[in-house]
Amino acid sequence: MTEKLEMYKCNICGNLVEVVLSGKGELVCCGEPMEKMFEKTQDEEMRGEKHVPVVSKNGDELEIRVGSIPHPMEENHYIQFIEINSPDKRYVKRKYLYPNEEPVLKYKCNCAKVEARELCNVHGLWISGEIDTEN
Ligand SMILES: [Fe+2]
């Protein structure tokens, strides 16, 4: 059984998929079950770089940065995407990023609460937890 917005990766070919709508079946790629990716929330295990997305508000625009210390955006170590969604999973916005770009997503959003995720190509998937945008 999968859940909406879960991500699964293939450890053989590197395919990464997101569940758009949940179903009962097991996801398989290259003949093997795909591995569910779990979001990390604790930055302290990293040395000198931060991964948890930081959300701030400027008028009606949200700014999501990775992270509280800017993450490297080098050829072999960079943030591959930043995503913001409403906690009820009705709205999702994703920005894909490439080396040498700034790891930031700006988005106009009226959601009272959001959560942000990002994927580092070396250190995996990270999530902010639920953030109240009205404060
Ligand atoms: Fe990283």
pLDDT in tens, 31-53: 999 999 999 998 865 567 789 99
The residue to which tokens 């990270």 are assigned: 126
In a domain, 118, yes or no: yes
Boundaries of domain holding 95: 43-132
Q: Please tell me whether residues 13 and 56 are part of one structural domain.
A: no
Task: Write the CATH number for 22.
Answer: 2.20.28.100
Distances (CA, A) of 97 to 75, 83, 92, 110, 135: 12, 11, 16, 24, 28
pTM for this model (two decimals): 0.91
CA 23 to centroid of ligand 1, rounded, Å = 31
CA 98 to centroid of ligand 1, rounded, Å = 13
Residue 95 scores a pLDDT above 90: yes
Task: Write the CATH number for 52.
Answer: 2.60.40.730
Q: What is the model's pLDDT at position 45?
A: 56
Tens of pLDDT along 55-75?
Answer: 998 888 999 999 888 899 999
Tell me the average pLDDT of the chain.
Answer: 92
Task: Report the alpha-carbon distance of residue 86 to residue 131 in Å, rounded.
Answer: 10
CA 119 to centroid of ligand 1, rounded, Å = 8
